[in-house]
Structure 1
């Protein structure tokens, strides 16, 4: 049997889809699996032993997109089962143009949540696979298969970026205050993508101004496999709601995540016993906006470094951490 899977485009969503993928792979254990998707999602999951073939979707990079989608579909070819974790028109066209016998496009299923609430995104993906396979599988932990780095000393990772927008970002001076307070116990590593070089540089500059020298800045210098390995080997991670947060959850890294404008119950770390959230209840939050529509950004601005530090201390002293 041949199965085609179009992965979610965002890094964090791709990682959150891994429990659903595990259920899919277990449902058809002998199937040949082809995955396609953005370079971010493909590189994150490429190391999985059940994936036979990876094809990066470059249909946005140039030319008339419908034609590019058609060419990708012909490259992928027909499969016995074609599944997309996306609901975009181009995903529908992609699956149809492969000529695959059975095709399923993602749609939100909120049946697992109490009335008036919404489930975690991991559960949505698992419900989607359950619906098409006729099963009732539960949602297991996140999974990534890249090996983890080994650090010489206890190491704290700082991830200030969030690709969704500025509203999800905590402030560089607060990250620096936090890092300086922990630098005597941890070496520091700053993470960030190509679009986050400035905020990472601001944090590094402020830390060095405070006399912190045991730090490195990896912003813009890691490919996705390297990012997974580097985060997976950390002893502690501080981050916003972001793709790297879900990478940390997949490796069960002790993590404190700072949430502001997004729905923490939908995108928090899935089944990470060492995960903690810092957030404030405000009438305007979660607004789900890329930038603060009220211009005050209180959901993040009012979270102080001392509050995050207290949550870290609680985590390091907890029974979950000791076990």
Structure 2
């Protein structure tokens, strides 16, 4: 008889993608997986064939939301044999505890010692393994360094999304110019615009509603020179439509962001521009990915001794790590 397991998902798209190898491991050993996820992350789990059911949690960013969590736990009571709590927060461990799920697995963190029955030691942030291995370790299995996330969209879902957006498979390049963490991870908008004008197919700009102005900063000069060449869909698509557009793209150019990891999991050709963060920790796990990071370029002078700083904004005020990655260099990497 299969073990019924509940997985409490992380709240960021990139992190959600990097949990897929854990889903694969759990499902392969006979666990039936139900994932509880926030609405803006849930579509990622619907692109994982190993997941039998996805429950949209009705919670918001921040706050304990005690009554809502108690109500959700009551709905889930007596359904599950095990739970895997992927975030490190106290509130993320409450539902499995309140639902009285017998086996509750997670990392130690934020005063939740009594909420978990199987606790892994949380390594210091500067010693933490790559995120895929960090999440996969919750399976209790070895060989984690071989894991690579894989996503798979239903063909009919992709076809409908492309029709709704007016796109043709392989007939465009996706730009994902945002980075939730901050501007020190964003390749300049002017560089994106210059690159778009040199491509042989139109560009599709994807992002959240908060990134619409940034995307319009790219689209406006492109469309002034080549009308209709840049389609700004930031804030206008569902996540499912955005995933479909990425799955069917000719290639994608992005910063170190959640959509970068989505593209890697679909295996599409991609160029990922890194600045303040490090591809040694969160690379796109895709054999078709080209990573551009001036920190490890011996020909770049003077060396970037300040990188990676992991800051939201450049402490030195120049963001040289991104500004000096030229559109021509990205174009060459796309070839």
TM-score band by shorter chain is 0.7 to 0.9
> What TM-score do you get using the length of structure 1 for normalisation?
0.85
> For residue 284 of structure 1, what is the aligned residue in structure 2?
306
CA contact (8 A) 2:9 2:16 kept: yes
Structure 1 residues 187 and 22: CA distance shift in structure 2, 3 A:
same
1:145 aligned residue (137, 146, 152)? 152
d(CA) in 2 for partners of 1:63 and 1:10?
17
- Report if the CA contact (8 A) 1:48-1:144 is conserved: yes
Answer yes or no: is 1:18 the counterpart of 2:20: yes
Q: Which runs of 5+ in 2 are unaligned?
A: 109-119, 163-167, 296-303
State how 1:1-323 maps to structure 2 within 5 Å: 1-28=3-30, 31-60=31-60, 65-78=65-78, 79-106=80-107, 119-129=129-139, 131=140, 134=141, 136=143, 139-146=146-153, 147=155, 148-149=158-159, 151=168, 154-182=171-199, 185-270=200-285, 272-281=286-295, 282-313=304-335
Contact preservation (8 Å) 2:222, 2:229: no
Aligned residues of 1:43 and 1:225 also touching (Cα < 8 A):
yes
C-alpha separation between the residues in 2 aligned to 1:47 and 1:245? 16
Aligned-pair distance for 1:268? 1.1
Secondary structure of 2:198's partner? helix
Change (3 A) 1:63 1:166: closer
Task: Quote the offset at 1:64 in angstroms.
Answer: 5.8
1:137 CA displacement: 5.9
Q: Secondary structure at the match of 1:74?
A: helix
Output the CA distance in 1 between the equivalents of 2:206 and 2:238.
11
Give deviations 1:106-155, integer Å, cap 9, x for gaps: 368799xxxx86532112222222x2xx5556643322232345726632
Query: Structure 1 27/135 Cα, relative in aligned 2: closer, same or farther at 3 Å?
Result: farther
**Aligned equivalents of 1:103 and 1:110: distance in 2?**
16
Looking at structure 1, the residues matched to 97 and 53 of structure 2 have their Cα atoms a distance apart, in angstroms, of 20
Listed one character per residue, the Cα deviations across residues 248-301 of structure 1 (whole Å, up to 9, x for unaligned) are 11111100000111121121111x111011111122211222222332222222
Partner of 1:320: none
Residues 263 and 286 in structure 1, CA contact (< 8 A), matched pair in contact too: yes
Q: 1:56 to 1:106 in 2, by over 3 A?
A: farther
Q: 1:200-228 deviations in whole A, cap 9, x for unaligned?
A: 11111010122353332211111111111
Q: Which residue of 1 aligns with 2:299?
A: none
Do the aligned partners of residues 34 and 171 (structure 1) sit closer, same or farther apart at CA in structure 2, a change above 3 Å counting?
Answer: same
Residue 99 of structure 1 deviates from its aligned partner by 0.3
Gaps of 5+ in 1: 314-323
8 Å Cα contact 1:261/1:287 also seen in 2: yes
Cα displacement string for residues 17-39 of structure 1 (whole angstroms, at most 9, x for unaligned residues) = 101110111112xx432210221
229 and 198 in structure 1: CA distance in 2 versus 1, 3 angstrom threshold: same
How many residue pairs end up in the alignment? 301
Say what the alpha-carbon RMSD is for the aligned residues.
2.4
